[in-house]
Each structure stands twice: as C-alpha cells, then as structure tokens.
Structure 1
Amino acid sequence: MAVVEPQPQPALSDAKLAISVVVDDDDVERQMSEEPKEEFDYTQRAQWLRAAVLGANDGLVSTASLMMGVGAVRQDSKAMIISGFAGLVAGACSMAIGEFVSVYSQLDIEMAQIKRENQREGERESINEESEKESLPNPLQAATASALAFSIGAMMPLLAASFIKEYKVRLGVVAGVSTLALLVFGGVGAVLGKGPVGKSCVRVLLGGWLAMAITFGLTKLIGSSGL
C-alpha cells in the first residue's frame, strides 16, 4: 500500500506576504491609472494681465497727475477737463502703439525660433504648426487691450472732475477717486496673479500718490515763479 506523504502547508507569513503583494500591485495600478492633477500656471496670465492692469493703472495715474498739474495753476474746470481728455487720447494711442511694436518684436523672435526648430527636426504636420501659431502672441489684440485698459483708467479722474465746479472740492474728488481706483487696481492685479494683496495695494497706491504730488508740486512751483 502506497503511503501518501502530507503536502507541506504554506506558512502564515507566506500567505500574508502574498496578500500584501497583491494589494500593493492593486495600489500601483490604481495610482498609475489616475491622471495627475495639473496645476494652473499663473505665469500664463502674465501677458494680458500686464496689458490690462498696468494699462489701466497708467491711464489713471498719468491722467490724474496731468489734471492735478493743470489744477495747480488754473482753477477753472474747463482747463482740467480738456487736459485730462487730451491725456486720455494721447496716452491710449501711445500705449497701443508701444504694445503693438513690443509684441510684434516678440512674435518675430518666436517665429524665427520655430523655423530653426523645423529645419533641425524636419517637416512637421500641419496640425502641429497651426497649434504653435495659435499659441503665439497677438500684437493687435495686445494693442487693443492696452488702449482700452488705459482709457478705462483715465476716465475715472476725468469723470470725477466733470461735474464739480468748486476748485478745491474738484481737486479733492480727483485725488480721492484716484486713491480708491489705485487700491482696486492693486488688489485685482494681486488676486488674478495670486500675489500678496496688501503689498500690491500699498505699492500701487504710493506710486500713484508720488506721481500726482510731484506733478502738482513742480507745476505749482513753475507757475508761481512766472516761467
């Protein structure tokens, strides 16, 4: 009669090891199947954020400073309003032209770089080339955004002075509206760019106050000296 030898039973530690290996494999497969979450790159906002926020801030500061300077030597509201409107038009045109030239230069550089890469790597598919062209900066769009943002910023002190005939009250209202707008622009720029709101507001506000104070003081000095 044949004797059946007992088969060795797997040890408890071996079973635990096998289970842990299976679990670990499942975890790895699950982690590999999950797509990593892409974090938004806030530097992508740099171009249009600079054109919009800084354009509006420039329009506000330059127009308010110009109006304060004229108000330092002329007390009639007509002179302040005309000077502010002239500053709005001239500044918007200057911002648009400057932004157009700057972005167009950047576009030429990037197009030249793409051509060099195509020559090294060979011809690419038309779809990839069109995709690259769509991601390039648009000079006309940047110029329009800068002019529009500058005009919006410049309209604030201009509208504030349009309905006030009292000289001192008019200067105070222009300064007050400009102060409030500077705080708003600084806060909006910080929120959109995920930067510190407090520091941004203080920095923009102090810069605007300094520009208006210097313009008012120098114009008053020149006007009083009779030059």
Structure 2
Amino acid sequence: MASLRPLDQISTNQIEIPVYNNTNQAEQKQYQGEDDNDQFDYSQRAQWLRAALLGANDGLVSVSSLMMGVGAVKEDVKAMLLAGFAGLVAGACSMAIGEFVSVYTQYDIERAQMKRDMKNRNGNTEESGKEDESEKEKLPNPTHAAMASAMAFTVGALVPLLAAAFIKEHKLRLGVVAAVASFALVIFGGVGAVLGRTPAVRSCARVLVGGWVAMAITFGLSKLIGTKGMEV
C-alpha cells in the first residue's frame, strides 16, 4: 500500500493552472481585420473615383488656366472673374453631357450583352429573371454619373474663383490663384491616392506638375498673343 505524503511535501509541479492568453486572441482579430482590408477589391471604387477626380481636376485646372490667361493681358478683376465663371458653366455642362453620353453608351452595350446571354442561357425562366433583375441593378446610371461629374467640376472650378474674388492687386491676384490651385491639386492627388491605395507622393506630383504645365502654357501663349495683337 502506498504511503501518504504530507500536504506540505506535495510538489507544486503537479498543479496545473490554466492560463488564457488574451493577447493571442487580440492579435488574431487584428490580423483578421488586416486580411479583410487586404482582400477588399479597390477596383470597385475605380469608376466613381475616376469620374469625381477627373471632374474636380478639370474644373480646377481649366478655370485656373483660363483666369491666368485672361490675367496675362487684362488687369481688371471683373474680366478674370467673368472668364472664370463662364468657364465654370461651360465646363460643367460639357462634363455632364460627355459623361451622360459615355455612360449611356456603356449601359446600352452591357444591356445588349445581357439580352444575348439570356437567349443563350438554358435553365429555369424564373431564375433567369431574378438574375436579370440583379444584373440590372449593377449597371451604371447615366444620370447619376452626369450629375456627379458636373458637381465635381463645379467644386474644382470654385477654388480659383473664390481665391481671386477678394483681391484687387493684379500681380498678387495671379500669384494667389496659382498658389491656391497648386494646393488644391496636391489635395486632390492625395485624396485619390488614399482612396485608391496608390503611392501618395507619385500621385500628388503627377497632378501638380500637370496643372503647372497647363497654367504656364495658357499664361505664356495668352501673354504672347495679347501683346502682339495689341501692337498690331
């Protein structure tokens, strides 16, 4: 018969204490969240992101360049503002119409393809009808695209207009328009990079340099043509 040992002689190594590691669970949740972010399809944002950034950049660069061109030969603030406002209205209408026609063409092409697929599909008619309805909801909306493009253009065009509206001195006005437009271009490029998960520095530099080139060419050619025309 085995002898009993005193209680104080029992080894503590025989006692198992369960320990729950909450740190590992937290890390697993964190990694799972990161995996979900990595698996997110950022290409789904491409269509509306492209339309919004294209409209805003077009409005900003077009109206800024137009105001710089007019300011190269005219010192009157009213002339610059009137030219900028005309560019805003014309550009917004042009962007809306162009986007509407483009998206409607895409809609017609995809709708025709869906009809061809339904004719070639073999199966239950009810299931085909349900699939057709679900696919219709995924098609682009031309009206929404046109409105979004026009609004984005207007937002971009308002930046140089508001910057020049309260400055009377001519050279200072030109400098403020160029500076504010450059700052807005950097912001637009950064927003596009963040939403699209692309390199921010490269995106901002590309947008900024493109805007500078457009404003410089418009200012230089307007100055040259305006000066030569006045001499004649």
TM-score range, shorter chain: 0.7 to 0.9
* Cα distance in 1 between the residues matched to 2:225 and 2:71: 13
Q: Is the 8 A contact 2:57 2:156 kept in 1?
A: yes
Stretches of structure 2 lacking an aligned partner (at least 5 in a row): 1-34
AA aligned to 2:54 is L
1:110 counterpart residue number: 110
Written as runs of structure 1 = structure 2, the 5 A alignment for 1:88-127 is: 88-122=88-122, 123=125, 124-127=127-130
1:179 counterpart residue number: 182
AA aligned to 2:152 is A
Deviation at 1:125, TM superposition (A): 3.7
1:79 counterpart residue number: 79
2:161 pairs with 142, 158, 162, which one? 158
Q: Is 2:141 the partner of 1:128?
A: no
Written as runs of structure 1 = structure 2, the 5 A alignment for 1:1-227 is: 39-122=39-122, 123=125, 124-226=127-229
Q: Is the 8 A contact 2:118 2:128 kept in 1?
A: no
Q: Is the 8 A contact 2:56 2:152 kept in 1?
A: yes
Deviation at 1:220, TM superposition (A): 0.1
SS across alignment from 2:39 = coil
SS across alignment from 2:202 = helix
Runs of 4+ in 1 over 6 A off after TM superposition: none
Q: Is the 8 A contact 2:91 2:153 kept in 1?
A: yes
AA aligned to 1:163 is F
* Cα distance in 1 between the residues matched to 2:92 and 2:51: 12
AA aligned to 1:69 is G
- How many positions carry a matched residue from both structures? 192
Deviation at 1:40, TM superposition (A): 1.3
Deviation at 1:120, TM superposition (A): 0.6
Identity of aligned residues (%): 68
**Segment of structure 1 superposing worse, 119-128 or 57-66:** 119-128
Deviation at 1:39, TM superposition (A): 1.7
* Cα distance in 1 between the residues matched to 2:134 and 2:110: 14
Q: Is the 8 A contact 2:67 2:84 kept in 1?
A: yes
* Cα distance in 2 between the residues matched to 1:172 and 1:222: 21
2:8 counterpart residue number: none
* Cα distance in 2 between the residues matched to 1:104 and 1:191: 29
Deviation at 1:172, TM superposition (A): 0.6
State the TM-score, normalizing by the size of structure 1. 0.82
AA aligned to 1:63 is V
* Cα distance in 2 between the residues matched to 1:143 and 1:109: 18
